Amino acid sequence: MGKKHSPLFLQRVEHSRSIINECDIDEFSSMLGDNDSLIVIDVRETHEYESGHMEHALHISKGVLERDIEKHPIGTSDRIVLYCGGGFRSAIAAQSLKEMGYENVYSLWGGWRAILATEIKKSSL
């Protein structure tokens, strides 16, 4: 069951979702299985990441994403999928990266909860 979010936060998320690329769990699963390069970034807080995450997912919390993304070998044209707990924070984070010039960024709708509910599980990367 998802969290109850405040109206202004939900408005912000919906705005971000309207202007970013978003994928659902089936599309994400297909991306994991194709031969194209894919960078997966977990944008949740450290305690969330430490309690469980996709194997090989890069951890850059949403709060430091803009500051720290360039510390990693990630190009602005690389295909990137961001995930959080349910797809709300990752949508906002995807908008931010898009505004920074990253051209191929997706937010995973359903986030970690969707990953856990599928066959993808933690070791798919």
CA dihedral (24, 57, 94, 69) in degrees, to 10, reads -170
Could you confirm whether 23 is annotated as catalytic? no
Annotated catalytic residue, options 23, 54, 69, 84 = 84
Chain position carrying tokens 């969290």: 3
Q: Which residues contact 41 (CB under 8 A, 6 or more apart)?
A: 57, 58, 59, 60, 65, 80, 81, 82, 83
Tell the burial category of 117 from Cβ atoms under 10 Å away from its Cβ (0-12, 13-18, 19+): exposed
**Residues known to be catalytic:** 84
